[in-house]
Structure 1
């Protein structure tokens, strides 16, 4: 039996494995817990599966968590995660087949993956059971069978939570009906997996004859506790699912989250488990999602659909319809490269074909300039000579500035705000450098796809023409070749995990996907996200299981559609885009499917690859090496992630082998890291070992590793790229603001009173994810060997967001010969990007008390320590260390 664990709101407790009756073990553990907690807990769930045996318990008092590890048989204590509701990167509810956001050819994802040809061969998932763990399903949708139960498309399932469920606030109220009438995501997912053909949208699910089971884990308010997800995985496994798909999760660097472990154990027992890697591509490498980071889970990346729709606007002057798009307004992400300054390339967040939310009546146009190439329109407040612009659509060229933000330079948001002050609330922007985001003017901007159209509008206005533009809400979409079709979606999260597991595993279509939606809310939706690629992968697995058992074949993707492009890093695309037809029809098997090289301090370069000829004829196989681009890990995530040419060296024991039908052989592959790289940037090397058969078989083995030592590389960043702080971090930052509006750092000793209003914060950046981060108060005279310098005044250049940490325990004494006056924070499993509203910097406030104990008056320095990768948490030498300026906590100033 696997290890026994208890999951809590507050902690996860894992107990040693035992052969005893699990019900007795539950009773024994709860009895000991009751003696310590004196009844201040609630048993929320008992798990008695052979996969996972444990309990879900909610503790009422924080102090009851502290000594849980001392209860006999406890192996570990882990905090519980509450995951947000499943949300695609973007979602548009369609008004019908003529909605401008709906691609006219709904089967384009199947063409990309060979699913259309597999359907022609008669494989549609019949006899395969697929469990969908999501928001439930609106099974009244005609394309989802119109009913629930035996004989229906949605054969079974369970609602584990109920409508009112809010994790930690409103308890689950389970029932037997997984109907979803409020969220919609699970209904969209179900259509991707198994929608019946013959509908008005011209779409068919990947496995339309599979038996679908819906497990609802999210209520109408959104969010789900880890205890519920574990319950759903175990229930789906017990119900005999062949495939389980779940598009729920959050960023986590290590694969030992309790739900990740359970998902991996379910997969280990033979169930195919597909999970989304996340939509955090702009956070760079080593920022992957749990539970997709589970060891044996198929973690899925998103690939852009070949089809792409743009909205068009028309004018009252003869001119071809003008293609445009609506910005997603997710944040400020650069859309252009310096080498391509006059077109929008690699759009990350504009919304394919979405109609702009304005009336269909004509808008008069104003341009505010006679020079269509002028890029500073309204960078300053507009004067009295500019008339009232209420009711006008103002067309202007976006402010242009370097890709790295320089404080004080004009931004497109500044242009919009200044124009809006004159009454305008609709903006036509061309040559856009960034996705504009102005929170109080939502969805009232369009980005022109061609700079020439913007130039024409400005020139036509300046001729004195009474120019108007009109935006139809229906039938105005145009189907154009997607410039990024077939490439990895830029929002798709980068792996690998922090301990260098190969994540993501494979890619599937997830950009611009049409599928079913809640009937009462419109029946159909177009959406993008890895949460949509994941069910596509599940349906693909069902086709393969029906046809021949487990297996997959992927096609590696390039970085771009430029001539002779470099293959894209496997850290974001995985092995490549799945091709179900190739996987079904190939007559060669290779194993293992992936090679884990580790980092140079633990380099594993020698591997044996087994090749088997499963065909009826003798084949001659040729082995070759195809490197991909090498992504480099900078101090913080830069977008796009820097990629260089730095290939590993590969030596084969044999480059050619000949195999009779049914025969197999092993070939030794020796892989050496590149020499022309800076190991401090942790270059992620990746690529494929290609095996080509004489009858056209093309199979591959993927590899990934780090050409540097993760232990030796910085964990705490010793410089700064956050524009508000005009100095290097880490730093003690009081509440003082300089003349330029930026926070001022403390230089030299300074006293503070013991109150939130007075106490400063510690601001720092992480170059790598860290298992353990300690923040302690020490004697200012204490000599500590710091790895990070304490004072610098270098100006910073990059804006981002922050997230405060949480105090988890109170501690004193010493840590590896460093006397500690008081432990302020003990942070576990910290990501290198905070992910909060001001990330990537962490802003940790010095509290006036810790767990009810006042911080004593006195003089201190703050000791910040972050554990290096592969380091021992108990050893001081395995931490990056920073010692702050001296601070005093005094009764009054």
Structure 2
């Protein structure tokens, strides 16, 4: 099948956007990690990055178990080995160690190695061009990496990757002169932070007296304001925050970490201008706050905290730094480690996931956010939460939202949210921007029918930015803009208006519809009063999976996320310089909630290991029987039940893979009660998720995740329907998928799921709870899912970004000395793949050599600029001969083809039909 460039049949603005995206992506690609030979990439010791965000010349090297030397010994030995092969290599590159992982060999023994080019001196008055230097450095670096993977003292080699800063939504609050939020505590129906009633944390505090005392919780995040009175006011022995380190400093640069100036402690000193600041303090408050001003506590207020800071005041961090933090937290004796960070990869081969997994297997409970990619469909769970033994946490919306109210002149009351750029909102008269659609959207060149001088303008969300809406209203004389939501929801979605010159706030769709009804043809407007005090408004999305929460499964079809915590609209602490308190939303908030709950469990049962604890929480979680487990795992944690119930079922979840690979599963019921327990075993199906739609443009990922129109369910065969388990006894039973109901043709590969429930029949004490085991599977053979979308991979000529290349016609590659390559292979992926490679074929389409390759790639989103991989080609292939490994061999002038190969999911790479292939149009190299 021939797949070439994108046909020029799109709207001009879309083509321009794609062209700009390609230009940015290709420019960045020129500075990517130099191409590595297939011999290295296919070596079992080399683990390619699970995202395209690798950092040039940086590698995490894990030593072999038999190696007993230090990091310095390793570098000296490596240098000697390389110099033996090439005495001049020291003139081409320098090698330094960024991080040493020597102290805990049982978890990870190795280094983070930086390989950087040396500036070449002029030879006979001629200085090498950047392109020539890059060729020399690429070959030299490849020799180093080849030496690493061939060395008997090296176990694995991983490229260092960029880990993005955690995303979250902040609800803007009104603050008083003392920079404290103005909360009407008397009007709160439930005490802050609202979530403890949902999860039984209040019962654990009151009835069991557990507060996490004696348990150490480590946090890997952006730092902490330990000067906050609610976090103990200090750092070190005797304080709540006793452990940790600043590993990043305020101005950490992932590409140049050696210049970062680290603080003496993990104190968050970032100013208000850094809009994403305060994340770590908020996380710490969720776990351990003891607040007297608003009379609320964290989940486990008496735990001891550690904070390892890996983010500066802005920007990202790196995988080698997170690994350093994980090892330090482990060595500090943490019982629980929380990571509210990660990138949406869907693969567990990422080195942060590998290290987190080993720590979890050692007995420490590792909890990580599932990610905030809920709008991007299934298979988007973040690493390291995707690791087998790490607890991946989804987010559930809070029962209440803490917001101020707007009161209409008829007495109706609705909550509202201030925009990110607005501190206060005026009272006054509100009018509609226009009386009809689409003018009420206030987008583009729309012009209102009258002036709004001195009035607040009501506009509808959608079709353009909030800044554009605000600018149009401002031109018409408006003093403020109120945006109402375009979706049926319960509360106002926060808006971002960075450049607004007037105040901006938002209300729900219901509030907007009410206002539009009151306004009608009333040109004089409706009076409104915007209260400043915050009060708790019930949320109709309470206990539902948050819209931002990432959806599983992993690309290996393991059930992720595993559990859900409360992460939507969470009131917690912020640094004192940023208002001391705030409401944030994200799986970043749900993850520490679960970490705190596990600290309560460990106070009651200190001998239990991480695997058992995760299963116990899954057994007694509260699922939504509407939502698929790929969105919620086992459901919302119920801490009291997890601690007090004595019986359990293992494993805590099941994955049936796909139709072609599903196997019989075994569940084991253990009764630790003093009396025999009789159970009824049943099965409930949830709705199936539709990953793809084929009705219009072939295979298209569905974003956000939706449920299938057909009721796709599994018919499970249970070897037991009723069972009596004696005290101390374990009874096993098997579970099979007998059949899966048919799906619609345009909704292929539905992800079915449900719960197996084990309900107590005999209950001597009236306290036995049902145990639940979530399961998922995919209908169909996932090896049949096409990995390449229509039009991709594609070749792009740098002189023709708009894609006017005529299909079937040859591309022309002119090799001009000292210039950059002009042809690029651009990839988008419908599905993740464990291996993606580009081969070069001759004019007879016979194999000539390899051009480039990568592994463990996630799928793309529908964002036009989300080009996952861009590779430049200069008309060369990589020499795979061991004695010259890393050198490139220029091809003779002639006609060639690119053949792209992607390994299908769950397929055997040794079988030819396991690879999906595509061949380009001819390329004339001259």
1:313 is aligned to 2:406: yes
> What are the within-5 Å matches in structure 2 for residues 550-565 of structure 1?
550=608, 551=613, 552-554=616-618
**Contact kept in structure 2, 1:833 and 1:839, CA below 8 Å:** no
Rate the CA distance shift 1:303–1:452 in 2: closer, same or farther, 3 A: closer
Q: Does 1:715 align with 2:741?
A: no
Question: 1:341-352 maps to which residues of 2 (within 5 A)?
Answer: none
**1:138–1:459 CA distance, 2 compared to 1 (3 A):** closer
Pick one of 627, 635, 643 that aligns with 1:584.
643
> Partner residue of 1:659?
725
Shift of 1:234: 1.3
Please give the residue correspondences for 1:689-700 in structure 2 after superposition, counting only pairs within 5 Å.
Answer: 689-693=756-760, 694-695=762-763, 696-700=768-772
SS at match of 1:132: strand
Answer yes or no: is 1:517 the counterpart of 2:605. no
Matched, 1:747 2:807: yes
Unaligned runs of 5+ in 1: 327-352, 400-408, 560-565, 720-727, 784-816
- Whether the aligned pair in 2 keeps the contact of 1:365 and 1:461 (CA below 8 Å) is no
Aligned 1:164-563 pairs, distance under 5 A: 164-171=251-258, 176-182=264-270, 183-197=277-291, 199-314=292-407, 318-323=409-414, 325-326=416-417, 357=422, 360-362=425-427, 364-367=429-432, 369-370=434-435, 381-382=445-446, 386-389=449-452, 392-396=455-459, 422=476, 424=478, 426-430=480-484, 432-433=486-487, 440-441=499-500, 445-451=504-510, 453-454=512-513, 456-457=515-516, 460=519, 462-465=521-524, 467=526, 469-472=528-531, 474-475=532-533, 477-549=534-606, 550=608, 551=613, 552-554=616-618
Q: Is the 8 A contact 1:128 1:211 kept in 2?
A: yes
Q: CA deviation at 1:118?
A: 0.5
Whole-Å separation in 2 of the counterparts to 1:424 and 1:759? 51
Bigger shift: residues 752-761 or 497-506: 752-761
Report if the CA contact (8 A) 2:683-2:757 is conserved. yes
Q: Distance in 1 between matches of 2:202 and 2:786?
A: 48
1:352-392 Cα deviation digits (max 9, x unpaired): x7687275444554435456x77766667346x94554654
From 754, 778, 782, the counterpart of 1:706:
778
TM-score (norm 1): 0.79
* Cα distance in 1, alignment partners of residues 675 and 251 from structure 2: 61
1:72 pairs with 146, 151, 163, which one?
151
- Aligned residue in 1 for 2:737: 671
TM-score (norm 2): 0.77
CA distance in 1, matches of 2:824, 2:454: 46
DSSP 3-state at the match of 1:711: helix
Contact 2:407/2:414 (CA < 8 Å) preserved in 1?
A: no
Work out whether residues 41 and 60 of structure 1, in 8 Å CA contact, stay in contact via their aligned partners in 2: yes
Identify the structure with bigger relative contact order (alpha carbons < 8 Å, sequence gap 6+).
2
Structure 1 pair 390/57, CA: closer, same or farther in 2 (3 Å)?
farther
Q: Does 1:575 find its partner at 2:634?
A: yes
- Corresponding residue number in structure 2 for 1:869: 905
Cα displacement (A) at 1:878: 2.6
Tell me if the contact between 1:507 and 1:533 (Cα under 8 Å) persists in the aligned partners: yes
Distance in 2 between the 1:518 and 1:452 partners? 33
- Number of residue-to-residue matches in the alignment: 790
> Is 1:630–2:688 an aligned residue pair?
yes
Q: For 1:423 and 1:879, how far apart are their aligned partners in 2?
A: 62
Query: Conserved in 2, the CA contact under 8 Å of 1:356 and 1:443?
Result: no
CA–CA distance in 2 between the matches of 1:450 and 1:763?
Answer: 41
Give 1:58's match in structure 2, choosing from 88, 109, 114.
Answer: 114
Q: 1: CA distance between counterparts of 2:358 and 2:341?
A: 18
Native 8 Å contact 1:114 1:581 kept in 2: yes
Q: Does 1:640 align with 2:721?
A: no
1:680-695 matches, within 5 Å, as 681-693=748-760, 694-695=762-763
Does structure 1 retain, via aligned residues, the 8 Å contact 2:165–2:316? yes
In structure 2, do the counterparts of structure 1 residues 767 and 173 end up closer, same or farther at CA, with 3 Å as the change threshold? same
Question: Aligned residue for 2:696?
Answer: none
Please list, as runs of the form range in 1=range in 2, the aligned pairs for 1:780-819 lying within 5 A after superposition: 781-783=843-845, 818-819=847-848
Write out aligned runs for 1:76-225 (5 A): 76-90=156-170, 92=172, 95=175, 96-98=180-182, 105-120=191-206, 121-171=208-258, 176-182=264-270, 183-197=277-291, 199-225=292-318
Secondary structure at the residue paired with 2:327?
A: helix
Q: Where does residue 350 of structure 1 map in the other structure?
A: none
- Counterpart CA distance in 2 for 1:390 and 1:846 is 56
Indicate if the aligned counterparts of 2:553 and 2:560 stay in contact, CA closer than 8 A.
yes
Report Cα offsets for 1:551-607 as digits up to 9, x if no partner: 333466666xxxxxx531111211111111111121311111122322222212x22
Per-residue CA distance 1:51-87 (angstroms, 9 max, x = gap): 1111111001443432323432244432111212334
- Matched residues in 2 for 1:525 and 1:431: separation? 23
Distance in 1, matches of 2:807 and 2:497, equals 36
Counterparts in 2 of 1:299 and 1:367: CA distance versus 1, 3 Å: closer
Per the TM alignment, residue 276 of structure 1 is displaced from its structure 2 partner at its CA by 1.0
Whether contact under 8 Å (1:356, 1:446) holds in the other structure is no
Distance 1:415 1:508 in 2: 36
3-state SS of paired residue (1:52): coil
| C-alpha displacement of 1:512 | 0.8
Deviations 1:436-475 (A, max 9, x none): 8877549955444244754545654733436454544x21
Partners in 1 of 2:501 and 2:603 — Cα distance?
A: 47
CA distance in 2, matches of 1:583, 1:208: 19
Secondary structure in structure 1 of the residue aligned to 2:702: coil
Deviation string, structure 1 residues 221-272 (Cα, Å, up to 9, x no partner): 4432222211221122122211111212112221111121111111111111
- Within 2, Cα distance between the matches of 1:179 and 1:437? 28
Identify the range of structure 1 (684-693 vs 576-585) with the bigger mean alpha-carbon deviation.
Answer: 684-693
| 8 Å CA contact retained: 2:573, 2:582 | yes
Is the contact made by 2:169 and 2:584 (CA closer than 8 Å) also made in structure 1?
A: yes
The 1:63–1:846 alpha-carbon spacing in structure 2 relative to 1, beyond 3 Å, is: closer
2:98: which partner in 1?
Answer: 44
Shift of 1:321: 4.8
The correspondence of residues 760-775 of structure 1 with structure 2, limited to 5 A, is: 765-775=828-838
Given that 1:6 and 1:12 are in contact with CA atoms closer than 8 Å, whether structure 2 keeps it comes out as no
Distance in 2, matches of 1:397 and 1:313, equals: 17
Closer, same or farther: CA 447–854 of 1 in aligned 2, 3 Å? farther
Distance 1:450 1:499, change over 3 A: closer
Bigger share in helix? 2
Q: Deviations over 1:608-665 (max 9, x none)?
A: 2211221122221111112222112214443331213322222222211112322222
Structure 2 portions without partners, runs of 5+: 1-44, 50-54, 118-137, 271-276, 693-698, 877-886
| d(CA) in 2 for partners of 1:128, 1:54 | 29
CA contact under 8 A between 2:827 and 2:869: conserved in structure 1? yes
> Does the C-alpha gap of structure 1 residues 173 and 819 become closer, same or farther in structure 2, counting only changes over 3 Å?
same
Distance 2:423 2:209 in 1: 46
1:220, CA displacement in angstroms?
2.9
- Judge conservation of contact 1:377–1:415 (CA < 8 Å) in 2: yes
State the distance in 1 between where 2:342 and 2:181 align. Answer: 32
Contact preservation (8 Å) 1:93, 1:524: no
CA displacement at 1:302 relative to structure 2: 1.1
Contact 2:200-2:640 at 8 Å conserved across structures: yes
